Structure 1
């Protein structure tokens, strides 16, 4: 079970990373969502998650 949990977490982080890079390249959330197989709201969540993490680290 721990192995599956780790895999799910790793996949989530890969999607977050992909969304960040695609946003930086100028892609829209709907396009990114279609490419990643998630909703546009999920992409927004990925971006907001990163913003919160950056604030915690004092990077914003």
Structure 2
């Protein structure tokens, strides 16, 4: 879809939620961790793009 690896965290969260380990705390923790991974990678890319734009003359 987007060829961005951070989105695979959602697949891992889905496996944790519905793949046999479906006791209650794992579902929200898995999706929260996936969201955290996506947001952190997005923020890092955003900061890197800003730094690259500022470095160009």
Structure 1 length as normaliser, TM-score?
Answer: 0.43
Higher helix share: 1
Structure 2 length as normaliser, TM-score?
Answer: 0.45
